[in-house]
Chain A
Amino acid sequence: GESVGLHLPTLSVQEGDNSIINCAYSNSASDYFIWYKQESGKGPQFIIDIRSNMDKRQGQRVTVLLNKTVKHLSLQIAATQPGDSAVYFCAENDAYKYIFGTGTRLKVLA
């Protein structure tokens, strides 16, 4: 079936550096994608979204890039802070529901 996956299960980044979290999706018909952040013991929180008619979208310190040719999504976090430590999920829209990836844990090193 269709699936969303992530290349790296754990990413360690020095505080102040930029982080890049990647995601591959397999459904070429998906037209909407979301990145979520999940802190320990909490539910996922929306970070940023992007529609398939866009290649790039920027938020505050975060940028999502979409490459439809290779079905790849990435989340860039600028000047990573300790508060960014969490698990990050990408999700693709499938009609009325979403398909989530397994997640990447981001560890910020002091």
Chain B
Amino acid sequence: NAGVTQTPKFQVLKTGQSMTLQCAQDMNHNSMYWYRQDPGMGLRLIYYSASEGTTDKGEVPNGYNVSRLNKREFSLRLESAAPSQTSVYFCASSGGGLITGEQFFGPGTRLTVL
């Protein structure tokens, strides 16, 4: 099993450009998450999907949109990138439920917005 995979690994955008970060998991997990991690800071939740067909805002959703394409895939879209969105983005998944259990993380996408 590959676990959680993310593409791309690195990306450089100009201000105003758009892009979609892809995430897939092969563990048959119900819940999926998108986080951003800035230097010297912890993980901040952008959006999450508790189950297929549902998405909810996290702590820092502004400037982002998500799509839970199916049970395996959860994408994050930046419609008009801003320098403040320069960060490392992590996707994660877990079995789900009110007590979610361990989250499995992908390797991250390093995004720079110029």
**B105 and A98 within 8 A (CB):** no
- Interface of chain A: mostly helix, strand, loop or mixed: strand
Q: Closest approach, in angstroms, between the C-beta of B5 and any C-beta of chain A?
A: 11
- Which residue from chain B places its CB closest to the CB of A1 in the assembled complex? B59
**B102 and A49 within 8 A (CB):** yes
Residues of B within 8 A of A98 (CB): 33, 45, 100, 103
Neighbour of A101 across the interface among B42, B90, B104, CB < 8 A: B42
Whether A43 touches B31, Cβ cut-off 8 Å, given contacts A31-B99, A103-B42, is no
Q: Closest approach, in angstroms, between the C-beta of B43 and any C-beta of chain A?
A: 4
Residues of A within 8 A of B102 (CB): 34, 46, 49
**B58 and A97 within 8 A (CB):** yes
Neighbour of A93 across the interface among B56, B96, B99, CB < 8 A: B99
Residues of A within 8 A of B99 (CB): 31-32, 51, 93
**B31 and A46 within 8 A (CB):** no
When chains A and B are docked, how far (Å) is the Cα of A101 from the Cα of B44? 9
Neighbour of B42 across the interface among A34, A51, A102, CB < 8 A: A102
Neighbour of B107 across the interface among A42, A46, A95, CB < 8 A: A42
Residues of B within 8 A of A101 (CB): 42
Q: Closest approach, in angstroms, between the C-beta of B103 and any C-beta of chain A?
A: 7
**B50 and A43 within 8 A (CB):** no
Does any Cβ of A come within 8 Å of B41's Cβ?
yes
Residues of A within 8 A of B33 (CB): 97-98
9 interchain pairs (CB within 8 A)?
A: A32-B99, A34-B103, A43-B90, A43-B105, A46-B102, A89-B42, A93-B99, A96-B31, A97-B48
Binding site for A on B (CB under 8 A): 4, 31, 33, 35, 40-45, 48, 50, 56, 58, 90, 92, 96, 98-108
Binding site for B on A (CB under 8 A): 31-32, 34, 41-46, 49, 51, 89, 91, 93, 95-103
